[in-house]
Structure 1
Amino acid sequence: MYFNSLDFAVFLPIVFLLYWFVTNKNLKFQNVLLVVASYVFYGWWDWRFLSLIIFSSLLDYSMGLQLIKEKKQGKRKLLLWTSIIVNLGFLGFFKYYNFFVDNFVEAFTFFGSSIQPNTLDIILPVGISFYTFQTLSYTIDIYKRKLEPTQDIISFLAFVSFFPQLVAGPIERATNLLPQFYKKRQFYYSRAVDGCRQILWGFFKKVVIADNCAEFANQIFNNSSEYSGSTLLIGALFFTFQIYGDFSGYSDIAIGTSRLFGFNLKQNFAFPYFSRDIAEFWRRWHISLSTWFRDYLYIPLGGSKGGVWIKVRNTFIIFLVSGFWHGANWTFVVWGVLNALYFLPLLLTKSNRNNLDIVAQNSILPSFTELFKMGLTFGLTVIAWVFFRAENLSHAWLYLKGLFSSSLLTLPEVRPTNLLVLIIFFLLIEWIGRREYYAIAVFLTKQSRILRWFFYMLIIGLVFIFSSATQQEFIYFQF
């Protein structure tokens, strides 16, 4: 079920009313309702894959109980690795089986041999990369004795399948989300209003910015050989805003929806395109995934505490895995390597933590130096996104070759003025609200109610006016 669908517009009010007016006096009933609603939400796409998420949930629930009982370190490691192998085994099969088979065939063909392996018509379960990492973090934290396992199976099933963030994050940790299922929730009007405000901004990002940018980005990327360098630059820029509006829009809707039910999810995006270096960008982009890799891969490998070789190795590993997590295509691997190369000079010069505060923290406008750094970081990010969007490495290379040709200085063939105005409006609002949890968190709160409602009606109007006739699925559903 998509957030931007009529199905969800019917589904959400029904669950909300049942949650607060029918099951509100019994915590267990509320959690059961959330589990059922989450399974309906997920099964709306394909009921067959419900068995997968239920199996994964039951596996890690039982592993958690066994880990706390077991005293022998050897058996505890065996339990941990059973969870890791089974979960990553499912993820690897559904997401990477055909990728490895195809590359195996190409390798043999390169050396003059020809084989005919069996490939499978595999459907990638929506959200498998997200809920797999969520359940894994639960087991790993119990193994490290950072978390006590729950004996409340309903709460655990709700934690894994919680429908607002089930299919595209944020990837929640059990230490943050699971305890919220133990406590009785109360309805707070101010919290619900704040949730609706964030949902509205998420829909604006998705429907107005991302979906309209997608129309032109797809046109340009799918016919890149026919366009000038200036048009290819427009295409790359539109995809840059498409993926940000799409994914951060989903996160805003997910976090806002959670607040309607009395839950607090972690921030997943913190205005990444205002970053002054690539390290800051990765602290602000897909925060839940970046911190997951930091805590469960980078730090266990030694982090940045070792010598130069250890630092370089760990940096490349985390970005390679991050790239490969996104999809079974060499373009994602190169995208990861490129970001590692961007990050490496900062790490080696120990300047990767120079920019911890938001840009222009105490001023309205950035300084010239900050503006230059933001522009450079944004430009490097745009180039990297070309690999993320391209069909294959050849396509990415030809796209960049065309982009940096002499035709870069010509007038672009595609000039969607209305969309450019919307993007400028979007960036202006994001800049004004860059210190907040999300851009319009406290927007106009000191102004009159009439002015506030005029702004909200403006956003709602833009959503309806610029909504695409064809429903666009969220990009990260494919990951």
Structure 2
Amino acid sequence: MSYVIDIYKNQIKPEKDLIDYAVFVSFFPLPVAGPIERATHLLPQIQRKRVFSYAQATDGLRQILWGLFKKIVIADNCAELANLAFNNHEDHSGSTLLLGAFFFTMQIYGDFSGYSDIALGVARIMGIELLRNFSYPYFSRDIAEFWRRWHISLSSWFRDYVYFPLGGSRGSLLLKIRNTFIIFLLSGFWHGANWTFLAWGALNAIYFLPLLISKSNREHIEIVAKGRLFPTVSDLLRMLATFSLTVFAWILFRAENIRHAAEYIGKIFSKSLFTVPDLLRKELLLLIAAFIIVEWIGREHPYAIARIGFNWPKTVKWGFYYCLVIALFVYTGKQQQFIYFQF
């Protein structure tokens, strides 16, 4: 669609070479789950002559390794426990269901951003730079920042081809609110014809409204605590609040239907919320904590381990890489299909 729209708006010329166009449309790392590429970005790279770059290829392999770690070690293991919670919510306490929602939150991030890392890494080996699709969204300080960092290629697509043509942030406050709801509802509907996805989109629009009305939706553009190891107390509290809102919204996304979501949420906000969770897996929680620490340390780079270890002794650096590889085999969970294969 973007290719045809860009031609209509005279932003690009129609591609006359059938092979180049076919490669653009069917470039194999992309069609199943993205990122969503545009002709203005990908076609020129396909058309120019490329030569093998050792540095580019090794960088691609590092990103593939990190993507595999996200998918196999984090997402697949979290999926097993998230499925137990969501598929049998009536049998679990509120604290267990809350933990299940947390596991799904980590699953969908590890699964989808892991796929994106693998796709970007594979393309980089072949000399192609794809659009970045994730930029540490769970370190966001408000919902507007979250959506600038989550599934960037889709968010920017809706912004450029739907939101701006509708008028964007111009016009009256009522028009801005209308445009915001249209974008978020479309984002929900894009994931499937289910009321849960529309409710998820509407909830995110409601989250976004206070920022839009107060004109603070562009307040956090740079990555949090840039150039520093630790965030301020204010930034930490903002991140925790945004993450909590996101976890709650993902319940709607994961639920089978609105009734399932309502029962799940209702069970969370019951007296059993203050009991010990049934699905408490300390080893998995330690893996998630280690994963978050690595992501935090590498948050100023395109992917978490892009620069980690560059100044370490060679034996230590390669030891770190081998630990990641070994973890892929030791902590292989039950095989789970990529979540976004269904959309």
> Which category describes the TM-score, using the shorter chain as reference length?
over 0.9
Task: Note the 1:36-185 alignment, pairs <5 A.
Answer: 136-185=1-50
Q: What is the Cα deviation at residue 390 of structure 1? A: 0.3
Q: Which residue of 2 aligns with 1:409?
A: 274
CA distance in 2 between counterparts of 1:426 and 1:233 reads 20
Distance across 1 between alignment mates of 2:326 and 2:222: 34
Q: Which stretches in structure 1 are left out of the alignment for 5+ residues? A: 1-135
State how far apart, in whole Å, the 2-side matches of 1:324 and 1:166 are: 19
TM-score (norm 2): 0.99
Question: Does residue 358 of the first structure (1) align with residue 241 of the second (2)?
Answer: no
What CA distance in whole angstroms lies between the structure 1 residues aligned with 2:279 and 2:48? 54
Correspondence for 1:430 among 295, 303, 315: 295
Instruction: Give the drift of 1:449.
Output: 1.2
Give the match's secondary structure for 1:238. helix
Name the residue aligned to 2:336: 472
Cα separation, 2, equivalents of 1:207 and 1:233: 23
Answer yes or no: is 1:203 the counterpart of 2:68.
Answer: yes
Partner of 2:119: 254
Match of 2:253 in 1: 388
Alignment of 1:208-357 (within 5 A): 208-357=73-222
Q: Deviations over 1:1-21 (max 9, x none)?
A: xxxxxxxxxxxxxxxxxxxxx
What secondary structure is seen at the aligned counterpart in 1 of 2:45? Answer: helix
For residue 118 of structure 2, what is the amino acid of its counterpart?
A: I
1:16 match: none
Structure 1 outlier segments of 4+, above 3 Å: none
Q: Which amino acid aligns with 1:424?
A: A
Aligned-residue offset at 1:411? 0.7
**1:3-22 pair list within 5 angstroms:** none
The whole-number CA distance in structure 1 between the counterparts of 2:228 and 2:59 is 26
Cα RMSD of the aligned pairs, angstroms, is 0.6
The one-letter code matched in structure 1 to 2:244 is: G
Q: Give CA deviations for 1:307-348 in whole Å, capped at 9, x if unaligned.
A: 011000000000000000011110000000000000011011
Report the AA paired with residue 283 of structure 1.
R
Amino acid at match of 1:472: Q
Q: Which is higher, the Rg of structure 1 or of structure 2? A: 1
Of 240, 247, 267 in structure 2, the residue corresponding to residue 375 of structure 1 is: 240
Measured against aligned partners, the alpha-carbon deviations of 1:226-248 in whole angstroms (never above 9, x if no partner) come to 11111011100000000000000
Q: Residues of 1 paired with 2:220 and 2:9: CA distance?
A: 31
Deviations 1:154-173 (A, max 9, x none): 11111011001121000001
- TM-score, normalisation: structure 1: 0.71
In the alignment, residue 428 of structure 1 is paired with which amino acid? I
Partners of 1:432 and 1:248 lie apart in 2 by 17
Q: CA deviation at 1:363?
A: 1.4
Paired residue secondary structure (1:363): coil
Larger RCO, structure (CA 8 Å, separation 6 or more): 2
1:304 aligned counterpart, secondary structure:
coil
5+ long unaligned stretches in structure 2: none
